[in-house]
Chain A
Amino acid sequence: MTIATDDALAAFATTATSAVAQCAGLDPRGRARCLAEAGLIGVLAAEASGGLALGLDHAVPVLHAAGAGLLGYPLLESMLLAAALGERPEAARIVLGDATATIAWSGGAQLEGGLLSGTAGRAPMADSADLVLVRLADGAALVDATGPGVIIDAGDGLDLEAAECRVILSGATPLALLDGDAMDAILQGARLLWAAAIGGAVETCLAAAVAHTSTRVQFGKALVSFQSLRHAMARQKLAAEHIGAAIARSLMHPDDRLARAAAFAAATRFGASAVESALQLHGGMGFTWDIPMHRHLRRIRAWDAQGDAPGLHRRLAADLLAANA
C-alpha cells in the first residue's frame, strides 16, 4: 500500500469536516445524500461502483472528522460494506446515498435452506437503514432491512447519535453473501476506523475542556492556571496522540496483525478515560445533557463494544502465549 501524502489526507479531512457539520441539520436520508455528494461514502469502494478505490489511510481522516463532529450516520459501516460488496449493484446504491446501510456487529444468523434466522445486535441506525449486514458463523449476509422476515427493534446501547438496534431474522432471504475473509477484512478495517473516530472525539472534548477552563474563573483566576488541570489536559492530549501513533504505525504495517489490533486497543484503552477527564473538567456543567461530553462518551463506549475490545485483548494475549510456548 502507498501512504498518501499529507496534503491529500488534509483535503479529505477538510471535506469530511464540512460535510459532517452540514449533516447535523438533516434527516438520515439527507445525511446519506450529503455524505455521498461529498464523495465520502465511496472512499474505499470499487471504481465500477462509483467509488474512489482508495486505501484505509484515506478513510482515517474521514472517520476522525465523523468522530470529532458527532456524526449521526453509519458512515464507517457504509464505507466498509460498499467496498466489500465490490461491483454488486448494492454497492453503487450505498456509494450514491440511494440506500442507507449498516452492520450488526454482535450476534448473527444461521443460514438454513437459503433462509436466515437468528438475532443480531449492535447495528447502528438499522431502524432507518435499507440494508443490514448480519454475521454468519463464517462470513456474513446482507438483507433488506424492510423485507419479509426482518424485524428491527430498538437496542439498549448508549449511543445517541447512531443508536444501536437489534435485528431479528426469521426466514429472511439474503441479498448477498460475504465469505469469512471478506467479513474479516470489514472487521479489521472497522477497528482501525473506530480508532480514528475515537481519536477525533477525544480531540473535540479536549478542545472543549481547554476552552472551558480558559474562561471559567474560580478562586480569582482562570481554571486553566491550576497545574493539576493543565496536566489533566496534557494527559488527554497524550491519549489522542497515542491513538494517532498507533494508527500511523498500523498503516505502515498493514500485514502485521498486532500493529493492526493495537490501534483499536489503544483507542479503547485511552479514549473513554480521556473523555471522562474532559467531562470532569467541566464540573457540574459537564454532567448536563446539553453539553455534548456525554454524547462522545456514550458512543465511544458503544464502539468499544461493537469492536469487542475485551475479546480482542484476549486474542492478543493468546497470540503472545502461543509465540512464547
Chain B
Amino acid sequence: MTTATISEVVPPVPAPATAPQPGELTKDTYKGKIHPDWCPGCGDFSVLSALQTALFELGLKPHQVAVISGIGCSSNLPGFINTYGMHTLHGRGIAVGTGLKLANHDLKVICTGGDGDGYGIGGNHFLHIMRRNVDLTYIVMDNQIYGLTTGQVSPTSVKGMKTKTTPHGSVENPINPIPLAMVGGATYIARAFSGKQKHMVEIIKGAIQHKGFSLVDVFSPCVTYNKDNTYQWFNPRVKILEEQGHDPTDFHKAMDKGYMWGDEIPIGLFWKRTDLPTLEDLEPVLHEGGPLAYRKLGIPEDQAKALIAELM
C-alpha cells in the first residue's frame, strides 16, 4: 500500500500526564488528546476547563458522555475533551445531539457551539429543541462575533458594532438569547462568563443535572476579533444573580434580568422549572428496554403476522 500510516507521519500522541487506573477518575481523565489551538487568552479555554471540572465533580465517566458541536472556534471543543464527541456541521450540533440522545438516553449529551452556530445558522433547531425539552445541555460560547471566519458580524453582535462585514457599524438588532429561551420554553436558562470560571462550573453542573433542556450562554471573549466586548469590558459589568438573591422560579423577574444590558449585566441562573416532563419521559418507546441503540433488531413473529394481516 502506498498510503502512509499515522505513525510514519506524526509522532505518537503523548499519553496523558497521569494514566489513571481503569475506573479511577481524576481531573486529567477529561483531558483530550489534543491541546486546544485557540488563540491565547480566548474565552473558550475557560469554558473547556469549567466543563471538564463539572464532569469530574459530577463523577461522570467519559464514555458515558457525548460532547457534540457544530462548526466554529468554539465548536472545536469536543476535540479537546476526553469524552465521546462529534464535530458536526455548522449549526447542526443540537439536531445531531437530539438524535443521539433519543437513540441512547443513558448518555449525558452536551452540545457546544458558538453564537453564530446556535443563534444564526442553527436557529431553527434551537427554537424546536426548547419546546421539545430534550434532556441535554447546550453551552453557547457567545463571543458576539464570527471567530473562525475571522471576524464578521454575528446574531449577537451589538447594534453599531464594527466588524469586517459591518465596516460602518451593524444596523441590526442583536438576538438576546435569554428572553428568547424563556419564551421558547427552555427549562434551565443561565449565563456565565469566562472570567468567572468557578461560577461557571456551578452553572454547568446545574445544567447537566437538570432534567430537560438547559441553555448556558457564556460570554466567552474573542480576544482576536471582538475588541468591544472584552474581559475588561465585561469584568465590571457582570453581576452574579446568585449573589443578588434572584429567584429563578420567578418568570417575570427572570425576564427583566434577561433584558438587562449596559452597566449591569446579570450572569447566573435566570430561570429554571422542574415541573415539565422531558421529551424522553413523554416517549413510551423509551420507557422500557434501555437505549434504543442497544436493542435487539428484528420483528418478533407475532408482530410480523399482525403487520402482514393489515395488508390483507
Question: A and B from one assembly?
Answer: no
Chain A positions near chain B (C-beta within 8 angstroms): none
